[in-house]
Structure 1
């Protein structure tokens, strides 16, 4: 009897998974909703009677019910890069010409995919089953939302056919327009505020604490990429086909284009037809089709070189400029902000738009009271694109840019070659002080749990902190008298501050907020000098000798550590036990054996991943370049390396070595 019930459970699971796939992925159901519900109900009853037969990939697990109070932060196995944007065919042609020069080829084929407007998700599958779902986050790490993504019917819990052992897929969680309209209709009937747009609603749904609520929302997931080792794929278009075979919902709108003319025809077609789609799209993603060429082109610190997002012309709205105010950033940069008569634009109400700097105001000749055209740059940040001169009042006058800081009344400065004005009062201007602290606690920096921007403002107003070193002197007695600060919140804040003492040196260096020292530069400086003590004493010449460190960055670092106030703050942080040196394991592997040598890495390697090989070069004093030139010392060639780099290396007399020869070089042989 038990065997029969186990067989029945297995049969129902297989049938329901297949019906689920046909309904939500193929959009071609073969049974009625009632029949599906009856089979699901029977399976639920059988599983309840036989808990030993539990299967996390069972169709019954999609109903939700798990409550997540705190979402764990998970580091992605493979970074989720952002995309560079283009807005015209001319920009695409320039991009293609750049790629052709880098690759040394005359022709390129591309895969074009519609750019879905939703929330990016990374799903990890192991042995054919969904292991976890993680939001994009900052591209390096995101929030684990596995319980919520399990409720989305178009996300397979178990894959079809023969699949790789472990790999990641990337997709976009979207809310179809019909489902969004239905949700708002229900909210209107209930007398609740309406959701503003599908994208924000989809993104917010992923962070709901109760997965049962998520299960009730008509979310969908459209997939566009796979990453992993030994995927046995040769092209982007083949990847999409393989993903469909595994059971992923990959839109059939993707096209293989043999040249840029076909790409532009695809863009023109969808610029007109996109409004007929059942979901929102704001552009097209164009990818070099050949995965070997993608590998050869590689990445910048933020984006793949082999992909470009073409954005359709933004929606515009006409509204009135009521006032210009001025914001002070953490570096003292002044940003003029246009305060607008509220207007609905691309699904959100826009009240403010950036005017960037004095030059932009002069270029637009925008004036108080003008009627202006507003659009969302990249569909995200509102900007003023033009003035409707026919509606301008005769008495209007040009804008006079402010001369004093709006926060501390200090005379503003504008250095030669700089677009923005700056407030030089970095130690006494409140927004600069709180801005530096907010940067210090941010996710990519110290990532202090329990402490946000509003709390920083509160602590500053109450006189409890004046710089980021003061955070480490806070006590429970300091925090409990504060407004809306319960004991649990105060304890969480102090625990978050204490835990940040373990944040590694490169992120601590980035957190200090040295001008021009972003994430990537901080990593390079940390690797080059090993400790903050060495960096603080470095000369301009020593700084300039580090890969990609120019005079502007070097001068900024020297200036930061020459300031006695900054040195005192750094000393206090050091006394609090922050990580001001690379850890022992990293230091052990560092040498100068490759100093003065430039390497280009291409192909697939037997024992090392490409990123690990590049890190080894940098850890041993060498420089990594993306393309072969007369300055290249070695081309490290792996399997499936593109012929263009080999040809260029041979023509320039650059030495070509394999993985084992490279490892011998590192050992000093």
Structure 2
């Protein structure tokens, strides 16, 4: 049956709810009145299908059918100019905003007093009973008193619940002396709290918690989240303000992080950070693309009288709000403590992150009597979980491609505390080490941090998988072949690979490259995302108007960058060679190549035609020579180099002799220095007779460590008894040897 044969709900039945027709007439052939009715019915049906799918986990129609209905609604709204703020089509995101408006909360969103100590929880119970004038619990509820997890629930697989008849049944089982006091125990979600305000059943405002009194208006972003009802259903209050927790499900978080890693972006540390960073995006379309969800858990204000928290939770699903099934009403604080221990045991099995449980007085009149402090409600208490420490589970493995094409497997972890830092990813180093440690997805592993910086998987604590993880055959970014080189693997795509290309641009502008101020990681990503940069050569074709049009850029920043790029058109040859990002060729090796061959053309000719000639250069052995040869013989790299040479003329930079004051000394530099780039510092000591090398050995006399110095070099220095000096110590050493520094 076609859509045109269906009555437009003249009998009260929406034709798009069950077995909906999908063969629609062209919009140009229907009248406005018919279009308005179809729009109304489609919006109503799609809201219901969203609720069935995202809240109950029980879809009524196939995904393809839903897509047809959604597309039809978009076409109708566009053709007849019928946009509406609460239309389901707003789920895909609206226009970006310049800034968030600060809005006062309907009711204060206070924090919760918290502790991880059981004695503090019992003290909370004693204070509540003392201030309410009720005695200790003598008996717990009858054994057959159901908790929320026992109640039938469509969508139990995704952690949602329906609280039908819960309050009355629970109260009927009570035998203790203080029947008006009971606690509701809930997971303490590790997400972002939002106030959602509904008037006449329509979502009118969503506001972050902020300072508890006022927060940011993120309504446009909230509308894109599928589990946020834009219209309530059933017998809802005329006015309702509820508190919900926006979060990113664990599996969605891991998948999102995998995508970020493979795109060369920095992954989020944990789901909460991912959620917080998403909900405050100025562009709602970005929010719509990210996998956020919501649990609703508290009434902040209502035009209807609600007497108990359990009553509110019972009514939430009827209004369209998603609640968690992990809720239980208990009659004593000892039961609440048992609830916490049980949830702690099941923490890793939940589909969402929690960091404890919240214990709340059920009765609203009792809550009113208990009141609040300036910072928190006195009727609730959070019993925190201990932080996960070092041991965690591998949920997935992503492949990160660096600027040289090296493919590094990265374990995506359940967030874990390692040395006071939350870690959600860890290096697996290379395929050989993975095989040696027999690591795979699902295994429980111990994570450590190398030099307190880089997390890595140290060992498998409990093997829960078959075999070990295998490196794919192709690059996840460009689908070029991955080739093994000893224990490591490399993408063969070269600068044709997006990951290598982005990182090559970042490296080209870095301290080890041409040191172009204003071209940091963030700005490079922005320029690439805007389509202004595809290769390094495009830097020299940037247009002032295009730059000024970008968010966060002004005329001054655009002019400054263009001036920096103009100054970089005649770079010193060592800097240019290093900036190309050739594998194994850093500033020191680049300087030695420039010293030996003097011109870029000579270096490239030797690399292509006689790579063995490169091995006569200090710092260049067979492996490095092969890497240089492979770089220059790659068609993709050669094309980019040719484009670069249309804008850049590398200058032979003879290192001026300054004397032999440092004759016989060997220096290694690590980290960033204020007065010099590392290359300049190396040139300086070599001009006065010293050697500058890239690695620490027993032959090294000094390791000069600037800010953010590498931990491995410092560790090597300690092992070889090499003195480590900072920049001030280096300057003093130069002065002691009669070398004046301007």
Greater Rg by CA:
2
Interval containing the TM-score (normalised by the shorter chain):
0.3 to 0.5
TM-score (norm. length: structure 1): 0.48
TM-score normalised by length of structure 2: 0.43
